[in-house]
Amino acid sequence: MKRFVNLLIFYLFFFCFTVFSKEVKQDEAFKVASNFVSQHCTVFTRSLPSLSLVYICSDVQTKSASGSNVYYYVYNITSSNGFVVISGDDRAFPVLGYSDKGSFDSDSIPDNFRYWLNEYRKQIAWVIENGKIQSQTVGEQWTALQSGKVLTAENSSVLLQTALWNQMKPYNNKCPYNSSGLKRCPTGCVATAMGILMKYHRWPLKGIGNHSYVSKTLNKALYADFELDYIWDDMLDEYKVDGVTNLWNDNQDWMVSTLMYHCGVASEMDYSSNSSGAYTYNAVKGMIEYFGYDKCMRLLPREYYKDDEWSQMIRNELDNSRLVMYGGSNEGGDGHQFIFDGYNSNGYYHVNWGWGGLSNGYFLLSSLDPETQGTGGNSGTGFSIDQEMVVGIKKAEQNSDYVTNLYLTSYNDVNGLFMNESNVEVNKDFNVSIVAYNYCLKAFSGMIGIGLVNESNELKEIVGGGKMDSSLSFLRLVSAVLPCKITTNLLATDKLQPFYSDDGVIWKRIRGSNNTINELSVNNPTAINYKTSDTQIKVFLSEDESTLSVSIPLEFEAKQVSIFNIDGRMINQINVSDNVVLYIPVNKLPKGLYVALIKTKNGMDSFKFIKK
């Protein structure tokens, strides 16, 4: 029986994979690129486009991708200017990004753009490795572009004008020399992004105070006095060169290089010969303390927000004429920062890479549809996107204050929330374990609590918690066991969620990611541990409620798992033989309460789960 089931699963998987997804060949990619550019000819050129394949990203990283996975193609628009990036797999969106300026040269693109393209590669590689199928939204776009059908009209909703600044001369003319003393270090992408932001706001008119620190790699003490008048009219939007002649004067050179150095010191830049790096946290802190920007600026991690919510926050900033500082980290932990200064109605965001306008253009936040990658872009079974952004960037307003942001995380045996009780009752004491950390520039010294919420996520009461013993600084975590007691009426659909409060009066939810347990059911926690002696049966409902995971210790000799609805009707039954881990699809089940009945040598064990 087991062999038959395994063979059936294999054939079904193979069928889905071959029918719904495939590698995109060069001729197909060229056709899609040509149709896309033709549809957008008013952006690129008034004549029919002429395209040239200039790069193929594949496993072997050569221009001949035979025998390897292809992740994307890049075509230069030789009939005018610009380039277009086409996915090499039809489970990702067809057009990953495009530009109507310059051309693509893989040997001379900005580091942060290289990082962004590598994120596309990792996302598409994840789809291939995990055998994902094409979503309907992605499929419709491929069909439209393959047939030449016009996609949604691209009317750019917002495009803010930003400076085309760089990291080298004249911008780094006041940065420290490298260890050899032969050349100045680059400004760093964080300082360049800060400078572009300040040039856009033409603020401050004068800085505040001074700062000193030791740049780590150079082991050199650096100092800046910010009590300086910043003459914005003396800073050009673009510093151009005509042949070997600089098209700027000494004042314009001095002013922009001074600003860039001040941004570096304010963010405690780690200067080095080929690249300079700083933490976004220090940049935001420096903009508030030394340059008079608003305390309400927030640094937000992407993994804690759903894709639609994340995108809407970016659009809201741009709609209100506020630039967004955006970035992420690669596998080595190197950070990359750039500016979002626009978007269009097709879901593309305009990026200023901070490299003199090179490669600026419109790009997707992700190559994958949320349906494919997992809600929020980061889930236990999805692709993890390690990105962050700064929102609320504006001049300081009177009486503004820092905005607290706490997030759930994992530490030791607790993953967000944990509760030993399988059921809770009114007026009965119980404990909830919580692990959270502070992502606010201001130390948190308020209260952590557990709230009882109804089916509509409305807070009914705070059932337990307490005040922090000591303040929680940026990125510091709190791990606590909170005593709780429910005193109000209790319904089966109620849940326990984490909250925080600055004043003990207004309570706000602590966000969790798809990798943390974010709420507990009052009659059956999200992660249920059934203990017999020293072993455990574990049942988990995935965050997107598509899969029920059942883990049974081998010594329990599992025999059968059955799923029943609230009326007692059996929905599904699986003979598990010697399997110890099962993944049961429940995505087609309607909302409601269900019971998983597990038969082992020890008898029958039941676990409830709720589809919301």
Task: Provide the residue type at 142 as one letter.
Answer: W
Task: Provide the residue type at 313 as one letter.
Answer: M
Answer yes or no: 262 catalytic. no
Residues 489, 461 contacting (CB under 8 angstroms)? no
Task: Report which of 324, 377, 331, 380 is spatially closest to residue 352, judged by C-alpha positions.
Answer: 324
List CB contacts of 596: < 8 A, sequence separation 6 or more: 539, 548, 550, 561, 562, 563, 606, 607, 608, 609
Rounding to the nearest 10 degrees, give the CA dihedral for residues 304, 307, 310, 312.
Answer: -150
Three-state DSSP string of 92-131: CCCEEEEECCCCCCCCCCCHHHHHHHHHHHHHHHHHHHCC
**Selected catalytic residue, list 40, 211, 262, 336:** 336
Task: Report which of 289, 314, 287 is spatially closest to residue 195, judged by C-alpha positions.
Answer: 287
Answer yes or no: 336 catalytic. yes
Residues 308, 137 contacting (CB under 8 angstroms)? no
Q: Return d(Cα 62, Cα 527) in angstroms, integer.
A: 46
State both tokens at 149: 């059908």
3-class SS at 339?
A: strand
Helices (H) then strands (E): counts for the chain: 10, 34
**Selected catalytic residue, list 189, 263, 440, 484:** 189
State phi, psi for 253 to the nearest 5 degrees. Answer: -65, -50
Q: What is the DSSP string of 180-211?
A: TSSSBPP--HHHHHHHHHHHHHT--SB--SEE
Residues 86, 150 contacting (CB under 8 angstroms)? no
Buried b (16+ CB within 10 A) or exposed e, 145-157: beeeeebeebeee
Q: Return d(Cα 159, Cα 345) in angstroms, integer.
A: 12
List the catalytic residues: 189, 336
